[in-house]
Structure formats: C-alpha cells, structure tokens
Amino acid sequence: MEFLFQSYTRTGSIFLAQTQDRLISLKRISSRLNVIGIPCEIVSPRRVAELHPLLNVHDLVGAMHVPEDAVVSSADVALALASAASQNVMLFKAHLTSHSRMPGSSGPYSVRPPDPPPEKPVSRSGSNC
C-alpha cells in the first residue's frame, strides 16, 4: 500500500468569493465540512493575500481555506486497490466522493482484514464434498 500514499499530495485549497452570495454559500459548505471533521475556515481577502501572494484580491469579499485538501492520482489509487485485491491481502471499502470520510475513520477509506473463507461442507457420509 506504500504505492497509494506516494501519489497523495497535500496541497490545501482556497475557494474565492467575489460576491456576498458566494461567501454565504462558502460559509454553508465550511459548516458542513467542519461537522464531518475536515478543518476549514472562512478568511478575509487580506488573509488570502498572505496565503497566496500572487492572487489579486481587490475584488474579493472573502474565501474558504481548506488547509488539508489533497490530490491523488486516480490511476495510482486504482492500481493500488487492484493490486491489494489480487493479492487478497485486504478488503477496501472505498468512499470516493469529494470532501467526505467514512464514519469512524481518519481518511476517505477504511481497511479491514479479509473475512475467513467458509468451511467446506461435509456430506452425511463424512466425506468432503
């Protein structure tokens, strides 16, 4: 599974609001993200300029900053999951919608050991089927 984590790059993100309506929308999104455990904050145009000095902030009313946002290569994730499945090492329950985590996990996926194989049925005569 080392391959999967090599393609994970924490970038952070800034969602810009040029109107008051967009800022209200970002506040709602921020509230939902904080409830599910994804840290984010509404920031002023001045803070946006500190976070990303090359941005022109003269027409902004605010922004939402998600410091732990990240990108992964979908091809690398698919390859890692296929490799693990073919080795029958772990079962993965992927939940790949953006900005969501599985309940009780610290990441967008959970890993558990595979279920034990079912026992072979035994016929009435006592021999294996």
The CATH number for 30's domain is: 3.30.9.10
Closest CA to 57 of 39, 75, 71, 44: 44
Give yes or no: residues 47 and 84 share one domain: no
User: Cβ distance 43 to 50 under 8 Å?
Assistant: no
Beta-bridge partners for 110:
93
- In this prediction, residue 88 has a pLDDT band, given cuts at 50, 70 and 90, of low
- Residue 26 pLDDT > 50, yes or no? yes
Read off the pTM.
0.59
Co-location of 56 and 14 in the same domain: yes
76: tokens are 């690398």
Q: What angle do CA 7, 68, 55 make, to 5 degrees?
A: 100
- Single-letter code of the amino acid located at 117: P
Question: For residue 28, what are the contacts with CB-CB under 8 A and spacing of at least 6?
Answer: none
Q: What's the domain range around 27?
A: 2-71
The answer to whether 1 and 34 have CB atoms below 8 angstroms apart is no
Q: What is the pLDDT of residues 49-71, one digit of tens each?
A: 999 999 999 999 999 999 999 88
Domain check: are 98 and 66 in the same one? no
pLDDT, one tens digit per residue, over 98-128 is 444 444 545 544 444 555 666 665 555 555 5
pLDDT of residue 111: 47
